Structure 1
Amino acid sequence: MKKKILFVLPSLDAGGGQKSLVNLLTQIDSQNFQVDLYLIKSEGLFFNSLPKDVRVIEPTGSYLTFSKGFFPSIFSFIKTKDLKMIYFRIMLAIQNRLYRNKNKAEQRGWKYLNHFFEPLPQRYDVAIGYLEKSSIYFTVDKVNAEIKIGWIHTNYSDSGMDSEVDFRYFNKLNHIVTVSEECAHSLRKEFPPYKEKIFTIENIVSKKMILSLAKQNSDLKIFDNQNINILTIARLSHEKGIDLAIKSCSELVKKMSNIKWFIIGEGPEKEKLKKLIKKLNLEKNFLLLGLKENPYPYLNKADIYVQPSRYEGKSLAIDEAKILHRPIVITNFETAKDQIKNNENGLVVAMNENGLTEGIMSIITNKNLKIKLESGLSKEKHSNEEEVEKLYSLINS
């Protein structure tokens, strides 16, 4: 008889965690496991990439009213004289305004948001909150399952999350999974009583799939061979350091006018970043391309891949750049050493615009270094589909 697994996620919007889930789902043995996916919003860049045998579940009941927005939902709850829901809706709005840190706002707001979700009627063998915060809280509070797993995709120490909130939820999990050994070390440091629960399962990357997708739409006129084409794939948010990339681009253009730096991604800092691009007169050199369902042709054509992040769990984009043997420059965020060995398969530079500029220039001006880095990448084993076996071990433990 098939074991029933539930994954919980807010949506399948662009992001490393969302993409890694789709990769994981394609590897799960559908002969032995029935997989359900609970999505608060059944949408996102990767939604159409879900395996056909995955059943999607959506919220019902009060959440449908809640999701209309603040004032429409308040008016609807007034009509039904649901005073509790009015209170929770107002308190959640206040909570979100009290905390500038969005992670803490989401954590603290769950005690109100929680009331808009119905418990799931079906019992599962395994339930997995596949992202930190609300996905895990929902799994603990609203799902009936024999085994419950929380999945952390970031370095907890750098995330700005409130460990007091997570402490009581982690207590109710059977296992806590994270994506790299450095992230696991961070969790053990933050949550010593739960260190035996913590396991590492790396984000699954399929070399065969990426090489195939990289060949599609390969005629990218946006990439001129006369230019130095730099690429970054990242959410437009503070932790991804796109502002550092813009400042670095400004310095690079002073040295070489044929610099083109492309960003694939969307996010909350887009307007702020556009203003900085304009301020530094980089409209022709630093280009925000938005989301791309298939970013691999861009990655395949780029001269250099750069990840200017302030912190990462384990970057899926870096692993994908490694598969395509792109020369890579990343900042020295805490988990950088989990992916790049400095001067062997990429460059790890200081987390500022000067560090980025120096690293990029060294690859541009030193052909031997570029060849060395590409050669280092060509010798590595990049696919890790076997990581799914680690999940099976936890499920069967």
Structure 2
Amino acid sequence: MKKKLLFVIPSLDAGGGEKSLVNLLNTVDYDHYEVDLLAFQPKGLFLSSIPKQVTLLSIQGNYSTFTSGLLRSCLTFLKTGNLSLIFHRLVYTLKNKFITNKGYAEQSSWKNLRKAIPVIAKNYDSAIGFLEKSSNYFVVDKVRATQKIGWIHTNYSKSGMQPSFDLAYFSKLDFVVTVSQECAADLKVNFPAFHSKFKLIHNIVSAGLVRQLAEEEPDVALDWTKFTIITVARLSYEKGCDMAVEACQLLVNKGLELQWVLIGDGNERKNLEEQVAANGLQNQFVFLGLKANPYSFVKRAHLYVQPSRYEGKSIAIDEAKILQKPIVVTDFDTAKDQIIHQKNGIISPMDPANLAEEIFKIYQNTTIQNDLMLNLSSEPIDSELEIEKLYALIHA
């Protein structure tokens, strides 16, 4: 009999965790597993990439009303006499507005959001919250399952999450999976009592699929004769794209004729566009937004740059390695999990001046470029066998 699995994630918008889940679902052996996927918001760039064998679920109950506009939701609950949900909707709004730590805001407001969500009727063998915070909380509070697994895709200490809140939830999870040695070590520091629960499963990346998609023609015409730098990232503070804009300005000041292509979207886009305009970089710094296939752009670029302030484990870096691009990353905590300095990439101090300096060195020295690409050509990247680690947990 097939084991019944449920995966839970906030949405299928572009992001490392979301892409990792899509890659995992395309690797599952559906002869042995029956898989449901619940997305809080069942939409996003990766929705079309979900395998046909997966049943897509949505949250029932009062969730859609609760998450609609504040006035609309409160009026609806007033008409139905549900005064308790009016209270929780107001508190939910206040927490998300006034708690400046967004990681903790999501944690704390879950206590209110969960009041609008019923327990799923179906019983599962394994329920898997595939992203930190609400996905894990949903699995604990709203799912009937023999086994419950949580997932952390980031460096916990730098995420803004409060260990005191997660303590109760982690105690009810059978395992907590994370994506790098650094992230695992950090979790063990924050939750020493759960040392044995933490398991390492690297993000799944299909080298064959990345190379295949890279052969497609880009859907936007760019001037590839210019020295082209590419970054694929969510446009949020932790991804450090503001440092990329500053580094771009410094490189232009050095006389480098370049285009820096940024693929992704997020809440920092407006600020970044204003920063680009203020520095007169509209012809050098290009925003392409979300792309279902970023690989055709990465393949044609001269250099891949990841200017992050922190990462769990970057799928985008692994994909750039598959395409054998020279890579420069900032020295975030998990950088050394993926990059060996001056062997398969360059690790720069985390500031715009040093980032620009390392990029300029690579631009000037084709020997460095060729050495990095040669080393990457012999580095195994494909991680599809990581699914076996998940199977082992499910059958533990």
Sort the TM-score into its range (normalised by shorter chain): over 0.9
Deviation, 1:287, is 1.1
| Cα pair 1:223 1:301 within 8 Å, conserved | no
Q: Deviations over 1:328-380 (max 9, x none)?
A: 00000000000000000000000010121011011101111111111110110
1:330 & 1:161 partners in 2: Cα distance? 25
Indicate the residue corresponding to 1:332 in structure 2: 331
Q: Deviations over 1:30-64 (max 9, x none)?
A: 00000000111110000000000000010112112
| Cα pair 1:236 1:266 within 8 Å, conserved | yes
1:125-140 matches, cutoff 5 A: 125-140=125-140
SS in structure 2 of the partner of residue 370 of structure 1: helix
1:300 & 1:47 partners in 2: Cα distance? 24
Question: How high is the TM-score relative to the length of structure 1?
Answer: 0.98
Indicate the residue corresponding to 2:320 in structure 1: 321
SS in structure 2 of the partner of residue 161 of structure 1: coil
Q: Deviations over 1:218-266 (max 9, x none)?
A: 58531321x1100000011000000000000000001124111010000
1:259 & 1:386 partners in 2: Cα distance? 39
1:327 & 1:359 partners in 2: Cα distance? 11
1:375 & 1:228 partners in 2: Cα distance? 20
Counting matched residue pairs gives: 396
Indicate the residue corresponding to 2:343 in structure 1: 344
Aligned amino acid, residue 373 of structure 1: L
Aligned amino acid, residue 12 of structure 1: L
Indicate the residue corresponding to 2:211 in structure 1: 211
Indicate the residue corresponding to 1:266 in structure 2: 265
Instruction: Name stretches of at least 5 consecutive residues in structure 1 with no aligned partner.
Output: none
Aligned amino acid, residue 377 of structure 1: L
Deviation, 1:97, is 1.7
Indicate the residue corresponding to 2:254 in structure 1: 255
Give the root-mean-square deviation of aligned CA atoms: 0.9
1:188 & 1:114 partners in 2: Cα distance? 28
Indicate the residue corresponding to 2:290 in structure 1: 291
Indicate the residue corresponding to 2:221 in structure 1: 221
Aligned amino acid, residue 144 of structure 1: R
**Seq. identity, %:** 48
Aligned amino acid, residue 286 of structure 1: F
Deviation, 1:81, is 1.3
Instruction: Name stretches of at least 5 consecutive residues in structure 2 with no aligned partner.
Output: none
Aligned amino acid, residue 55 of structure 1: T
| Cα pair 1:167 1:191 within 8 Å, conserved | yes
Indicate the residue corresponding to 1:28 in structure 2: 28
2:256 & 2:363 partners in 1: Cα distance? 13
Deviation, 1:67, is 2.6
Q: Deviations over 1:98-127 (max 9, x none)?
A: 211211100010110111111100000000
1:1-397 matches, cutoff 5 A: 1-218=1-218, 221-225=221-225, 227-397=226-396
2:55 & 2:223 partners in 1: Cα distance? 39
Aligned amino acid, residue 95 of structure 2: Q
Aligned amino acid, residue 34 of structure 2: Q
Aligned amino acid, residue 304 of structure 1: L
| Cα pair 1:13 1:45 within 8 Å, conserved | yes
